[in-house]
Structure 1
Amino acid sequence: MKDGIGRRDVLRGASLLGGGLLLNAALPAWAHSGAHGLTADMPMLSGTDIKLAVGHSRFAVGGRSGHAITVNGTLPAPLVRLREGQQVRLSVTNGLDEDTSIHWHGLILPFQMDGVPGVSFPGIRPGETFHYEFPVRQAGTYWYHSHSGLQEQMGHYGPIVIDPAGADPVAYDREHVIVLSDWSFLHPHEIFRKMKAQGGYFNWQKQALGDGGAMSAADRAMWGRMRMDPTDIADVTGATYTYLVNGHGPAENWTGLFRPGERVRLRIVNASAMTIFNVRIPGLAMTVVASDGQNVRPVTVDELQITVAETYDVIVTPTEDRAFTLVAESVDRSGMARATLAPRLGMQAPVPPLRPRPTLTMKDMGMDHGAMGHDGMDHGGMDNGGALPMKMRDKSKAPPGLKVGPGVDSIAAMPVDRTGDPGLGLEDAGHKVLTYRDLVSLAPNADTRPPARRVELHLTGNMERFMWSFDGETYSEVTEPIRFARDERVRVDLVNHSMMAHPIHLHGHFFEVVNGHTGNHPVKHTVNVLPGGKVSFDLTADAPGDWAFHCHLLYHMHAGMFRVVSVRPLDGEDA
């Protein structure tokens, strides 16, 4: 029997806070939180008839208590464990005073069961119960969350593990599910209001003249003219966020147990609203065996960047009788989630300090990559003595299909495929970091047809005004969905004209990320498009219905970076 994972029931959270307060002095200020050494059984629901209740709870971390929206009273929500091939009925009762929903992220199911209000169903009204029923057609690590308002930020998310019907190609002795997330005591609508009112509101790491010796006066003037900041890596930061592992703050030291020599499977889920994490276990290599629930050829790395809504399964094999620290550092290095893998409870390993925060470069603007200056900045595309890139704001250079207006503050003049990049801030990590080009599907891709057509979509925004869109249009401005014929084979090109990474998620489908491994491209449901970069994926539109397609940064989606994909004909309709 494989051991389950540890976590905390939020309704008991306040009573558990006292045990770790004496340890706080040994941790940096950003890591101060509640209890220490917690490992408890995660509530797990399985079978063919599962009941979930959405309601209000109190959530405590760092000596404070706040209001959460939870499922069955826990944060994260209970682990839902299913088996490939079964028929499942999930009954969701809404105990809130507002509508709610559950989206089964990454699951292949009828679109009426996908759980997106206004797209695939009306939503679940207060006091009502909705019955999701569908066959389980896959195996792997997934998750579920609200698609109503900003409830996801408040705790409405949980993991899903689906065991394969046959033999698992991944051998392991023990597993732990690792749910990464971000928590703020600010109400999410207040977070959104602050970002709309002031660009970079939560960026408390703004770069000063002479900071680190890297930024010259000319470069500082250039960034100022663009009304941008090279440290503007994340919209919401450790200034308000506490980063959680299975609902625990950094000082609480959630602990996953192992016996030396065991192959331990870590099922890592990034259930954050806004945080991209860099995950590493100092002293312990990780062998990546699955991405977004789909098996890949094993690849061993020291670190990986997991964007919002992705999942990675990794195998670790600790041979020593000692503890290891699992570090999930926020992409802007403003804080971290932290846990421990250990043979016994109470053991700890050193917690590394936060690394220096990264800064954006001209590469992240989609500028000419050829003439790099001594400071790592690309000055080749600048005019006026290197003060302002000529092409960055030249909206006459906008490609066809991109509508330029106040919601578009930049055009990437020379976007490039960045699937070989490890992610922001990891270019000089000094050890092996996973890239998308390292991912090779374990099984050959199912559809070998070449794409019949290409669709280019532009990821656009205005960082100062916190406006986000596809092709320069917010969801409220769009009148037509993105249309695909049923079973059509399409190549979709995503071009990021903004200076922020965007995790793009398509509901109801998997797609193959084009990364050079023709015939075995990695199969994913979410892909991170780096600033100034582009990603292509091949899609077989084999799921009829209407499907959400959006950036999975919650506040970007809320601001308008959302579209509907319509696949027709439906069953029973004429082509």
Structure 2
Amino acid sequence: MTKHLRPRRSAAVTRRTFLTMTGSSALGSYLLLQNQAWAENPAVPRAGNFTELNATAEGGIDLYLEHRELLINGRVGRAIAINGSIPGPVIRMTEGRQALIRVHNRLPESTSIHWHGILLPYNMDGVPGISFAGIPAGETFTYHYPVRQNGTYWYHSHSGLQEQLGHYGQLIIEPAQADPVAYDVEHTVVLSDWTFENPHDVLRNLKTIEGYYNFQRPTLANIDDQMRATGMTLREVLKKRLAWQRMRMDPTDLADVTGATYTFLMNGKAARENPVFIAQPGQRVRLRIVNASAQSFYDVRIPGLPMTVVQADGQNTRPVVTDEFRIAVAETYDVIVTLPDAQAYTLFAESMDRSGYARGTLAPREGMSAAVPQQRPRPMLTMADMGMMMNGHGSDSNDMAAMEHPKSDKRHNTQSLPSSSDGELPTDNLVDSIKHGPDEHGPASITMAENAYRRLDYPGAGLGEDNWRVLTYSQLRALERPPLRRPPTREFSLHLTGNMHKFIWGFDGKKWSEADAIRFEYGERLRINMINDTMMNHPIHLHGMWMDLYAGGNLATNPRKHTVNVQPAELITVDITADAPGRWAFHCHLLYHMDAGMFRTVAVVRSLEGDSIETDT
């Protein structure tokens, strides 16, 4: 293996045309002139100039958090920089050693760093109000913990909405033993989203006006576009739109925050800035891809080059050759590509709602670029995303009939899931779908899928129709059986709920402020059936413990993940070993969903019937 090569950075800065959604054109012109003046000032550093540090080297490392003005896509943004840049430095560690990280808070407010996907003592997890008090302004906090794993991970703030301002970076842990993945050169790829708006204004807009950032809603002006895209007649299009209106829902509601305000970034660079990743023909290139976005899902591909997925969420997987994959917020994927010749290839990360993209170039030298693919039409949600189709897929055939006359499908094993169970539970051939029960989960839940399905083979809205291979969860298999994995003996169901109109999100119809902690008994093997009652994707993250995802395999082969994306109307099952005493966060990793209530505290206690949570932890 050759030495590690960092991503090369483009020497040119391009300027993005300034667009303002509100305000006068005179004000917009004034601000544009100001931004151009700043852009020409060499004293303003560009985003994306991050370094690399080794946290398990002797003496550890220092991270400095401060507000910093940075050039982002040619405009000046006020970011939270870590050691002077966004993303923050790549932090390397070695499995089996001790990490030592001193975080110096130069912000005028409290902050934190959460080590996403890392197994550590709960008081090192970095979640204010759950595992520690936070890092006050002007103070230093020292993280120190044993490194018990390897792979690609990341880190970010867990304080307020700081993550949206650039408070994140990649974390790479080298294995103590030989790496099963063979490669010649590797590159960090951090995907994110940036807004020049104040994140609190973004949240207020979402709470004030439903679909505030959705500029692609069905209108009279785009009926022809929908007819051409779907092949439906005018009557069919109108019938479908009326059906969605009766449900007070919008089939274009894939993303709460879109390219209307977002600039999509790759390693802190906008698409026009084109970060270049150097590799020579014949070399095996390992791309360590992290989605550090606040809200954005990406569909990732390299036109003309197949990718071999070798790791998901830091865990080695059996190699899967694919042409495209969707990466949810907070997930990581490692892929291997081989440069066949001395040409340039575009690394293309298209936002799920098609409102923009990030991109870079894989090439043998600086200054090269390849054609940027044409963006695909924005996908539309279907009745399947509302639980109205028993096959659980995205086809719209007979959608209206399924909605108006729902019926049981004998092809599927459909049943109600128990709220709890005793005894050893099955680990393969689990039920494919369930009917929603009578509980409406309170006023914070206004959408209820009639059925929830396992959609493990479904790549997601807008994917799978281009005649190329698309990765799905059903293809993920652990490279080796994880140690101590055993069948669970207790299970419960957890509904993912929301009120789109008021932008309230939660579990079982309750916000974090209204809910009790979820209690895990120390040492138990537990199953959670997550049921998405909403029409949006939710990447669910559990701190401190692994989630073994039922992906259609068995006890030995199902993959292990720290973040599991639950698609609309989907039933997802995860098994957990409660081997980490303490209090942990469990939440949707869409930043604004989490802040709006989709968050729970998990308490790993000595006994479910024992003392208080505080005594047990």
TM-score by length of 2: 0.84
In structure 2, the partner of 1:356 is 377
1:408 aligns with 2:411: no
8 Å Cα contact 1:3-1:174 kept in structure 2: yes
Query: How far apart are the structure 1 equivalents of 2:292 and 2:284?
Result: 25
Aligned to 2:412: none
C-alpha distance in 1 between matches for 2:364 and 2:389: 51
Contact 1:39-1:254 at 8 Å conserved across structures = no
Match of 2:28 in 1: none
Aligned residue runs from structure 1 range 53-452, under 5 A: 53-208=64-219, 209-213=223-227, 214=230, 216-369=237-390, 376=397, 378-383=399-404, 399=437, 403-405=441-443, 407-452=444-489
Structure 2: distance between partners of 1:124 and 1:421: 42
Partner of 1:483: 519
User: Using a 3 Å threshold, how does the CA distance of structure 1 residues 132 and 324 change in structure 2: closer, same or farther?
Assistant: same
Instruction: Check whether the contact 1:103–1:147 (CA below 8 A) recurs between aligned residues.
Output: yes
2:548 is aligned to: 512
Deviation at 1:4, TM superposition (A): 2.6
- Spell out, residue by residue over 1:21-63, the C-alpha distance to the aligned partner (whole angstroms, 9 max, x if none): 6999xxxxxxxx999xx99874011124111111101122233
Question: Hey, what's the Cα distance between the residues in 1 that align with 2:522 and 2:48?
Answer: 46
Query: Does residue 534 of structure 2 align to residue 498 of structure 1?
Result: yes
Q: Secondary structure of 1:379's match?
A: helix
Tell me the number of residue pairs that the alignment of Structure 1 and Structure 2 aligns: 545
Root-mean-square deviation over aligned CA pairs = 2.7
Report matched runs for 1:425-574 at 5 Å.
Answer: 425-478=462-515, 480-518=516-554, 519-569=556-606
In the alignment, which residue of structure 2 is the partner of 1:45? 53
TM-score (norm 1): 0.90
Q: State the Cα distance separating 1:428 from its structure 2 match.
A: 1.3
Which digits, 9 at most, give the CA deviation of each residue in 1:224-275, with x for residues without a partner?
2222211110000011111100000000010000010000000000000000
Assess if the C-alpha contact under 8 Å between 2:49 and 2:86 holds in 1.
Answer: no
Could you report, residue by residue, the CA deviation over 1:188-215 in whole angstroms, capped at 9, with x for unpaired residues? Answer: 0000000100111101111233432046
Give the distance between the partners of 1:416 and 1:371, measured in 2 at CA: 6
Structure 2 portions without partners, runs of 5+: 19-35, 41-45, 231-235, 407-434, 608-614
1:114-144 Cα deviation digits (max 9, x unpaired): 0000000000000111111100011000000
Cα pair 1:99 1:148 within 8 Å, conserved: yes
Contact in 2 for aligned 1:7/1:248 (Cα 8 Å): no
The one-character-per-residue Cα deviations of 1:482-518 (angstroms, maximum 9, x if unpaired) are: 1111111111111000000000000001121001221
Cα distance change on mapping 1:187 and 1:299 into 2, 3 Å: same
Query: Counterparts of 1:541 and 1:549 in 2: how far apart (Å)?
Result: 13
> Are the counterparts in 1 of residues 100 and 143 from structure 2 also a CA contact under 8 Å?
yes
Amino acid at match of 1:489: R
SS at match of 1:216: helix
Distance 1:567 1:133 in 2: 22
Partner-residue secondary structure (3-state), 1:382: helix
Q: What is the Cα deviation at residue 293 of structure 1?
A: 0.3
Per the alignment, residue 390 of structure 1 pairs with none
Q: How far apart are 1:374 and its partner, in Å?
A: 9.0
Change (3 A) 1:373 1:449: closer
Kept after mapping to 1: 8 A contact 2:49/2:85: no
Q: Which amino acid aligns with 1:468?
A: W
Checking the alignment, whether the CA contact within 8 Å between 1:361 and 1:376 is kept in structure 2 is no
The change in CA–CA distance for 1:169 and 1:401 in structure 2 (over 3 A counts) is farther
Distance 2:82 2:404 in 1: 55
1:4/1:41 contact within 8 Å kept: no
How has the CA–CA distance of structure 1 residues 544 and 259 changed in structure 2, closer, same or farther, with 3 Å as cutoff? Answer: same
Q: Cα deviations across residues 265-308 of structure 1 (Å, max 9, x unaligned)?
A: 00000000000100000000000000000000001000000000
Instruction: Give distance in 1, aligned partners of 2:507 and 2:369.
Output: 45
Separation in 1 of the partners of 2:283 and 2:17? 30
Q: 1:78 and 1:7, CA in 2 relative to 1: closer, same or farther beyond 3 A?
A: farther
Residue identity (%): 52
One-letter amino acid matched to 1:404: G
Partners of 1:508 and 1:338 in 2: CA distance: 33
| Equivalent pair of 2:48/2:267 in contact (CA under 8 Å) | no
Q: More deviation in 120-129 or 59-68?
A: 59-68
- SS state of the match for residue 401, structure 2? coil
Contact 2:436–2:452 (Cα < 8 Å) also in 1: no
- Deviation of 1:369 after TM superposition, in Å, equals 2.9
Look up the SS of the partner of 2:399 in the other structure. Answer: coil
Counterpart residue type for residue 513 of structure 1: L
